[in-house]
Amino acid sequence: MLKVSIIATSLIAMSAFAYDLPENTIDSGKVHAQDKPVTLLGKGVAEGQQAPNFKVVDDAFVPVSLSDFNGQAVLISVVPSLDTGICSLQTKHFNEQVANTYKDVKMLTISADLPFAQKRFCKQENIDKVTTLSDSVWRNFGENYGLYIKDMGLLSRAVLILDKNHKIVYKQLVKNLASEPDYTQVIEQLKAL
């Protein structure tokens, strides 16, 4: 019953939250779902700028911020929902194919999934090198990075790489929500760090 209550409260909060956000004009028209453009809400970010801080929660609902990773390069893999095929593949790819090679880069996956759903997913799929974080509580990451999808309550698929000073050195906004990121480009950027 508690889980149902938390989910219902989250859904109500999500719908009210979206009406307060401006449209992300930096990435306007760049993302599609089933060949239809989606509207991204929030401030939007660009390569070369300082990454904004954010507040999300881990699988125990403990707050986590970008500032918790000061002095570390960070890869942020953003997915709409871990319980979908492409998001699962993306998360497993970074966990199995990338994290071992780039151990000095902190690997994060951020979605709007509730923390206990993320925890279940990680246990089932043996995700042990990528840290999953939830934007379901405050929607602060989606707002600060302009990745909140209007009328969906989800985050848009993207990959961001931040250097040790948390400057955005790479941003890949995936054009089609049903497609995986271009991993080759991500690896080239990680090599250049």
**Dihedral angle over CA of 19, 20, 21, 22, nearest 10:** 90
Active-site residue (options: 87, 105, 133, 169): 87
Q: Does residue 122 have an active-site annotation?
A: no
Distance CA 66, CA 32 (A): 28
In this structure, what are the phi and psi dihedrals at residue 69, rounded to the nearest 5 degrees? Answer: -115, 25
Closest by CA to 18, choosing from 46, 50, 42, 47, is: 42
Q: Is 123 exposed, middle or buried (0-12, 13-18, 19+ CB in 10 A)?
A: exposed
**How far apart, in whole angstroms, are the C-alpha atoms of residue 175 and residue 31?**
4
Residues with a catalytic annotation lie at 87
